[in-house]
Amino acid sequence: MSERLDVRKTYKLVIGGAFVRSESGRSEPVTAADGTFLANVARASRKDVRDAVRAARAAQPGWWGASAYNRGQVLYRWAEMAESRAGELADLLARGAGLAPAPARASVAAGIDRLVWHAGWTDKVTSVLGGANAVAGPYFNFSLPVPVGVVGVVAPCAGSLTGLVDALVAPLVTGNAVVAVVGERLGLAALVLGEMTATADLPAGLVNVLSGRREELGPILAAHEDVDGLDLTGADDPGPLAELASQSITRVLARVAGDEPADALRRLRAFVDTTTVWHTVGA
């Protein structure tokens, strides 16, 4: 009997809840840390970025309109999906990032735990970031956090899975939609996490994941005038991208110290505005 050949996967872009090839038809190989072939990935183009932003804009109002409890349950479902594919994620980290099996499994476990942690914040973040204000008169006055809208993410291309989860999920906790550009080493894990959104009850288009060359896609995303916030914590040089974003007054998060929960809290604060609500006493 002849030896069976592997069916080599081409990882697709995640845009609008669908798994699509780049409209340009481009793809490129990804090699493991030891130089061996790992997989083919679609190489996103300018139009793919535009399509992803359009999908995110359409999905965001419905996500923010859902109850905080419902958003938390959906994110927890995503964590359940990640738990069921933890072995695959650990294998991608071990081969792609050159980790030993045990640290790779530990990184995946920590990333899934962080996803659960974020799910628990959806119905608490308003109390922490908002509050009642003292007023001189027969009124109630409340400050409430509201999402900025669409957040572009230049995801980290190295490090632990918790940093990747923080970048993808923190904007969702506060009601935003995400368009993420992922790098090579953690890119396959990010694409797998994106694949899970199709069966994790997240609205189509809420999370869009684009693989390709970050030096090509980063400036396109940063300059897009329908992107309301930009997380550049995974960028090698955030300065030029922040300058591009400033032309459309896009909010920028350039640096986060690490992967600890306190750093993740900073991400929760990064992409919200504050609205003030007045109401008369007794009415």
Q: Say which residues have a Cβ less than 8 Å from residue 119's Cβ, sequence separation at least 6.
A: 72, 73, 75, 76, 78, 79
The Cβ of residue 207 has, within 10 Å, a number of other Cβ atoms equal to 32
Question: What are the Cα distances from residue 42, in Å, to 29, 35, 95, 198?
Answer: 9, 19, 19, 18
Are 179 and 151 in contact, with CB atoms under 8 Å apart?
yes
Six token digits for residue 280: 């008369």
Q: Say which residues have a Cβ less than 8 Å from residue 155's Cβ, sequence separation at least 6.
A: 164, 167, 168, 180, 181, 182, 183, 186, 187, 190, 234
CA distance 113 to 193: 14
Q: Report the mean per-residue pLDDT for the chain.
A: 89
At 78-127, the pLDDT tens digits run: 999 999 999 999 998 888 878 889 999 999 999 999 999 999 999 999 88
CA distance 19 to 244: 29
* Residue 283 reports pLDDT greater than 60: no
Give me the pLDDT at residue 257, please. 57
At 127-146, the pLDDT tens digits run: 888 888 788 888 888 888 89
Nearest one of 268, 231, 236 to 252, comparing CA atoms? 231
- Average pLDDT (6-23) is 90
Percent of the chain with pLDDT over 70: 95
Class of domain 10-280: alpha beta
Are 44 and 13 in contact, with CB atoms under 8 Å apart?
yes
- Which residues sit opposite 20 in a β-bridge? 13
At 49-88, the pLDDT tens digits run: 999 999 999 999 999 999 999 999 999 999 999 999 999 9
Give me the pLDDT at residue 67, please. 96
Give me the pLDDT at residue 262, please. 66
Could you tell me the residue ranges of all domains in the chain?
Answer: 10-280
Give me the pLDDT at residue 195, please. 93
Among 13-22, 60-69, 156-165, 230-239, where is mean pLDDT lowest? 156-165
* Residue 1 reports pLDDT greater than 70: no
Are 60 and 177 in contact, with CB atoms under 8 Å apart?
yes
